[in-house]
Amino acid sequence: MEEKFMREAIKLAERAKKKGEVPIGAVVVLNGKIIGKGYNLRTRLQMATAHAEMRAIDRACKKEHSWRLPEAELYVTLEPCPMCMGAILNARIRRVYFGAYEQKGRSLTDALANANLLNHKVEVVGGVLEEACSEVLTSFFTEMRAREKAEKERKKAKRAAAEAAKARRAERLPKK
């Protein structure tokens, strides 16, 4: 069952990737049914909070007419950031499944999930379809770096051509 819902999150991550966003997807599940979906749209919306998890939780809360989702589970392709873990804790989500580990903040998820910040604790399960989730992210950043390198080379060639044209014009000017 975990893999089924993670595959849905991966599909959402692919949608984010097609829009040029960092490919992260999330679904909120209640009683075996998806009640909220989201994918990263930070760049397109220019909103720091437009993370996949936040968007999925918002939709689930609206559908359930409650900010509390104590029986719900969240599936997300990348280990949640501290902001998203805060929303998960506040929504009282009981379990989080994530795919790829966030290398920069790996211990934060467990620390926040088990902190005595609230009366609620969340169970966290990492590494669900980890390879597939990691591949979506890796391919995105590889393609992005290749595009950036090509753009940099194009600009460099354009500057060189402009400088060469300027030098040719200078050679044609009469000398005083």
**What is the per-residue pLDDT for 66?**
98
Is 81 known to sit in a ligand binding site? yes
- pLDDT tens sequence for the chain (176 residues): 789 999 999 999 999 999 999 999 999 999 999 999 999 999 999 999 999 999 999 999 999 999 999 999 999 999 999 899 999 999 999 999 999 998 776 556 666 666 666 677 899 999 999 999 999 999 988 887 877 777 788 888 888 888 888 877 777 777 66
CA distance 163 to 137: 39
Q: What is the pTM of this model?
A: 0.81
Give the pLDDT confidence score for residue 145 in this predicted structure: 84
For residue 133, say whether it is annotated as part of any ligand binding site. Answer: no
- pLDDT (0 to 100) of residue 117: 63
Catalytic-residue membership of 130: no
Query: Domain boundaries in the chain?
Result: 2-137
Marked catalytic residue, from 53, 130, 131, 143: 53
83-114 burial, b for 16+ CB within 10 Å, e for fewer? ebbebbbebbbbbbbbbbbbeeeeeebeebbe
What is the CATH number assigned to the segment(s) 2-137?
3.40.140.10
pLDDT at 19: 95
Q: What is the pLDDT of residue 137?
A: 94
Q: Where are the beta strands (DSSP E) in 57-111?
A: 73-78, 95-100
Give the residue carrying structure tokens 């211990």: 107
